[in-house]
């Protein structure tokens, strides 16, 4: 418990410095000495205090992660990937959950992240303001963004506009014309937000196909209940009902499916549906999905971040993983998948 490296040194009959070298593996130590030190450490259950170490080395072996939701599938998936990658490399993950519009946001950026406690920061699905970005960069530690492109910051994202276009073109290719788009807010940060970009893809695909007049949009919270509410509303009128829906994320899509079934509509059949983001729920409900492989992304983000921590240069400032259209063959839910769109 209260054991310090001095205790280990005393017990092994060496100096603190030698004990430190033996335990950390840095610097020359005779093999016999090393073993004696290691043995002594084990005997008294010594584990080095990273706080004391970081005070002198400047490295904390701790990464700060900022995320808007923990309990939403997409974010949870990334989080699990990030945590695993970090743990494998001996890093701690300190998590900050900033709900959109929360007052905590300032405290996290101005106080919690500013305290030299982290070797790096990962922001997931959060677009820091220019001021926030500047503040973080001033800390002089690597900063990585996942899921949202941030100016001056190494970002790992899909090309949301391409994804939106592909999704829409897929539905157009199936012969649909009345294609409703459901997603976040229309107004506001429409140009730079994730949803804004996806919507641009929708608009461009519809326009290119000469379907400007068929475009319609329903604003929705990016969640299952959001999709349900909007779906229940948009699909209730059988004459004005769209034949296809492009949902800005899978959680919306799942909500729409529930609403559609509630109304006695077959999906697919009476309604075709495409969502962006997921794959597991998508499998479960046999959606056709545009996948961005969130887990792999999370891991890449970590890999890159750690590369940055150790001083390696980064090849590019922004990586755009092209969205890919993937129709998943489910195993567990094979019978559900048979009737995929």
- CA distances in angstroms from 264 to 272, 275, 289, listed in the order given: 14, 21, 23
Q: Which long-range contacts (CB under 8 A, 24 or more apart) does 210-214 make?
A: 211/172, 211/177, 211/179, 214/177, 214/178, 214/179
Q: Which region, judged by CB under 7 A, interacts with DNA, from 10-18, 65-73, 165-173, 210-218? A: 10-18
Region binding a second copy by CB under 8 A among candidate stretches 21-29, 113-121, 153-161, 299-307: 113-121
The partner in contact with residue 18, picked from a second copy, DNA, none with C-beta cut-offs of 5 to 8 angstroms by kind, is DNA
The answer to whether 167 and 197 have CB atoms below 8 angstroms apart is no
Distance CA 235, CA 176 (A): 16
Q: Pick what 14 binds: a second copy, DNA, none; C-beta below 5 to 8 Å, kind-dependent.
A: DNA
Helix, strand and coil in the chain, % to nearest 5: 45, 15, 40
* Helical axes 5-12 vs 31-43, angle rounded to 10°: 120
Judged by CB under 8 A, does residue 293 bind a second copy?
no
Contact pick of 5, 8, 22, 79 for a second copy (by CB under 8 A):
79
What is the nearest approach in angstroms of DNA to the Cβ of residue 113? Answer: 15
Q: Which residues pair with 181 in a beta bridge?
A: 217, 246
Q: Which of 302, 297, 299, 314 is nearest to 159 (CA)?
A: 297
Q: Is 106 in the site for a second copy (CB under 8 A)?
A: no
Stretch that binds DNA, among 21-29, 87-95, 262-270, 319-327 (CB under 7 A): 21-29
Q: What are phi and psi of 146, to 5 degrees?
A: -115, 125
Q: Which does 251 bind (CB under 5 to 8 A by kind): DNA, a second copy, none?
A: none
Size of interface with DNA, in residues (CB under 7 A): 31
Order of strands, edge to edge, in the sheet holding 324-326? 216-219, 179-183, 244-247, 272-276, 288-291, 324-326
Work out how close the CB of 130 gets to DNA at its nearest, in angstroms, rounded to a whole number.
Answer: 27
Is-contact 253 305, C-beta < 8 A? no
- Measured in whole angstroms, the distance separating CA 206 from the mean position of its chain's CA atoms is 29
The residue (of 23 and 205) whose beta carbon lies closer to DNA is: 23
Q: How, if at all, do strands 288-291 and 324-326 pair?
A: antiparallel
Site track 22-61 with DNA (rule: CB under 7 A), x = hit? -xx-xxxxxxxxx-----------x-xx--xx-xxx----
φ, ψ at 239 (rounded to 5°): -85, -35
Question: Which of 65, 162 has the CB closer to a second copy?
Answer: 65
With CB under 5 to 8 Å by kind, the binding choice for 258 among a second copy, DNA, none is: a second copy
Which one, 57 or 303, has the nearer CB to DNA? Answer: 57
Q: Which residues bind DNA (CB under 7 A)?
A: 2, 4-6, 13-18, 20-21, 23-24, 26-34, 46, 48-49, 52-53, 55-57
Q: Which residues bind a second copy (CB under 8 A)?
A: 1, 45, 47-52, 54-55, 60, 62, 69-73, 76-77, 79-80, 83-84, 87, 92-97, 104, 107-108, 111-112, 114-117, 138-140, 224-225, 228-229, 258, 261-262, 284, 332-333, 335-336
């Amino acid at each position: 418990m209260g054991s310090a490296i001095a205790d280990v040194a005393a017990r092994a009959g060496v100096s603190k410095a030698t004990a430190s070298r033996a335990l950390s593996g840095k610097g020359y130590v005779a093999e016999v000495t090393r073993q004696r030190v290691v043995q002594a450490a084990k005997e008294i259950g010594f584990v080095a205090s990273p706080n004391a170490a970081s005070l002198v080395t400047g490295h904390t072996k701790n990464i700060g992660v900022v995320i808007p939701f923990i309990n939403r599938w997409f974010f949870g998936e990334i989080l699990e990937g990030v945590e695993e990658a970090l743990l494998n490399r001996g890093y701690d993950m300190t998590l900050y959950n900033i709900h959109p519009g929360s007052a905590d946001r300032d405290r996290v950026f101005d106080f919690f992240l500013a305290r030299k406690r982290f070797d790096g920061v990962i922001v997931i699905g959060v677009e820091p303001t220019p001021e926030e970005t500047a503040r973080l960069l001033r800390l002089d530690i690597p900063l990585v963004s996942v899921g949202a492109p941030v100016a001056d910051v190494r970002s790992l994202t899909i090309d949301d506009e391409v994804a939106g276009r592909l999704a829409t073109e897929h539905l157009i290719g199936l012969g649909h014309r009345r294609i409703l788009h459901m997603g976040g807010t229309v107004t506001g940060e429409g140009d730079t937000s994730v949803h804004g970009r996806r919507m641009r893809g929708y608009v461009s695909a519809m326009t290119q196909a000469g379907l400007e007049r068929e475009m319609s949009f329903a604003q929705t919270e990016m969640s299952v209940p959001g999709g349900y509410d909007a779906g229940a509303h948009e699909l209730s009128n059988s004459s004005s009902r769209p034949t296809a829906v492009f949902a800005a994320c899978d959680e919306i899509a799942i909500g729409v499916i529930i609403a559609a079934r509630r109304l006695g509509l077959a999906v697919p059949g009476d309604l075709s549906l495409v969502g962006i983001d997921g794959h597991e729920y998508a499998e479960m409900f046999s959606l056709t999905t545009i996948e961005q492989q969130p887990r792999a992304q999370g891991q890449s983000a970590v890999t890159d971040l750690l590369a940055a921590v150790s001083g390696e240069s980064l090849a590019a400032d922004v990586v755009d993983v092209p969205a890919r259209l993937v129709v998943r063959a489910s195993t567990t839910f094979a019978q559900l998948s048979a009737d995929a769109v």
